[in-house]
Structure 1
């Protein structure tokens, strides 16, 4: 993969938007012969438990209960969900907040209407034997990152530790796996708690002939460092939110989405199976680990799942405006303007879900203990 600047992929997406002009006001939704409204949701990656709540809402009929025939659009390396939404090729999209805000600044008319992940799942991981325990220890080291807008928390963490990302470390374009760390080609690697970190624990330690154990690694968690940023959110088309029919549809969509995520909180094994049945390339134990770790990012939700916390939002914006990458660029040039986020539709959805008997807080949620197997099979 090419090495790209910190915000290169996001800016490129914005330039595409600028070249195309504003989104067509015509909605891609349609009504089926059965009276169901077809709705398209663009995911930001391939099918995996990161999106289990949406998959469950489809498979268990929660969207259909709301009169919606929801079609999930699988993501990939070359798909920018917020661009698909802004270009009116989907009705809603799942995207990380910093990336989506950068696209907004470039002209994408999108609004965060549901902050499903309340917490960040991004780590940097090193071998415990390396002595790396904090961002300050990155100095002089080879630091892996994926690029494509995934490294904002890393740069903020290094900056907070007093490091100049352009001078004090060697930045290495990392593949979307952990092979470079396992081969010790880099000293510290980027990983999601629910995916790449598990890949390490599914790999065989050549020194023992057994799988690596958590104590073999040191984790730098951006939540602990204080530079975590908001990630998976449901984004809607800002212009369409002026329309009463789209407003009502958004509430219905979010109501069913809440039910899907609550279902996966309470029945993680079944949701794992639904994800695997979608054709995920990741194995069953890996997907169960992912389901468990994703649930930790969603639950408990003190004020109700999906509500945007102003403190978390402001921290994300502040880091996006003030953290510079190796070339001196920031994610955002100024604070988001217009309707960047709203809790109005999610609050109505929460009220509807609670009235239907759904636990929207999950205060009793307790994560599982998941035993990984070689290769996550």
Structure 2
């Protein structure tokens, strides 16, 4: 009789452990570790996900992979992606959180840039992760004839003189250029946000299937992630301590000064220009700006704001 009681007791304990075990979630950033994703590192390290009953691990893609491919293959449940990529990926994705509200893309040139037509017949360095589909759409929209020169990262291609113009992010490569001593005035810089291409960028995405079957889990992920970003903005030095530990573990060559500048710019890009607040939500206006540039009429009738944004 005693052994039966012991078995019953152990069964109850195992059941309780199983029911209270945190749900495992893999969150995939767009690329290697940096302050661009600091809110998620904070939420993981500070236990915000755990407080929601989740075991979230932030895992970066390999250089040859994308967060989109990892999400599509089921190796992660949540991924950080650009709105422009998510809209043109021909996949059933749901935007559940939007950090970026302002576009970070810039063109830096060795010759003055009067407008987008200054790119005509030039060699323009662009990142490897940008899809041919997106680049073709941009060329058609702006009627451009340019030669794209792909590169992985950094600014050496531009500094060496191998290209006329380089695409940079205001939160990373533009800072690197300044760190390398490159100086230029506004006539050599083209900010996309100033010329009708102010498309929101980083957002948090899940597949529609995952959203429909785990909407409560998604809400918890978003709640903890927003909390992580807010904490990073309120405690920048402590947040930088966290990011420096993350980049050390991932063997990323960087320094605290660069990551601080990146964090400052990321927080600036998160402020909605119409409300002057951080909404962490993709607005209808932001969605429509992107759709009008990137999608044709047939695609716009198929990809609706109410379905795409939750």
TM-score (norm 1): 0.68
- 1:96 is matched with 82
Contact 2:117 2:144 in 1 (8 A): no
Give distance in 2, aligned partners of 1:57 and 1:98: 26
* Pair 1:109–1:155, CA change in 2 (3 A): closer
Aligned 1:110-149 pairs, distance under 5 A: 110-127=93-110, 130-149=111-130
Gaps of 5+ in 1: 1-30, 204-210, 323-331, 344-377
Q: 298-307 or 311-320: which moved more?
A: 298-307
- 2:7 is matched with none
- 1:294 is matched with 266
Give distance in 1, aligned partners of 2:135 and 2:101: 15
String of CA shifts for 1:73-108, please: whole Å, max 9, x gaps. 1124322212322322211111112212232x2xx3
Q: CA deviation at 1:253?
A: 0.9
- 2:159 is matched with 182
Give distance in 2, aligned partners of 1:300 and 1:308: 10
Give distance in 2, aligned partners of 1:147 and 1:173: 5
- 2:3 is matched with none
- 2:309 is matched with 342
Query: Number of paired residues?
Result: 285
Higher helix share: 2
* SS of 1:40 mapped into structure 2: strand
Which structure has the bigger radius of gyration?
A: 2
Q: CA deviation at 1:299?
A: 2.7
Give distance in 2, aligned partners of 1:178 and 1:39: 35
Gaps of 5+ in 2: 1-16
- 2:190 is matched with 220
Q: Does 1:242 align with 2:242?
A: no
Q: Does 1:109 align with 2:79?
A: no
Give distance in 2, aligned partners of 1:184 and 1:333: 42
String of CA shifts for 1:181-225, please: whole Å, max 9, x gaps. 11122111010111111111111xxxxxxx334549822111101
Contact 2:270 2:278 in 1 (8 A): no
Contact 1:38 1:70 in 2 (8 A): yes
TM-score (norm 2): 0.82
Give distance in 2, aligned partners of 1:32 and 1:271: 33
Give distance in 2, aligned partners of 1:40 and 1:114: 16
Q: CA deviation at 1:61?
A: 1.3
* SS of 1:278 mapped into structure 2: helix
Contact 1:111 1:341 in 2 (8 A): yes
Q: CA deviation at 1:149?
A: 2.3
- 1:207 is matched with none
Provide the alpha-carbon RMSD of the alignment: 2.7
Q: CA deviation at 1:140?
A: 3.6
Contact 2:98 2:280 in 1 (8 A): yes
Give distance in 1, aligned partners of 2:18 and 2:46: 19
* SS of 1:334 mapped into structure 2: helix
- 1:271 is matched with 239
Contact 1:91 1:236 in 2 (8 A): yes
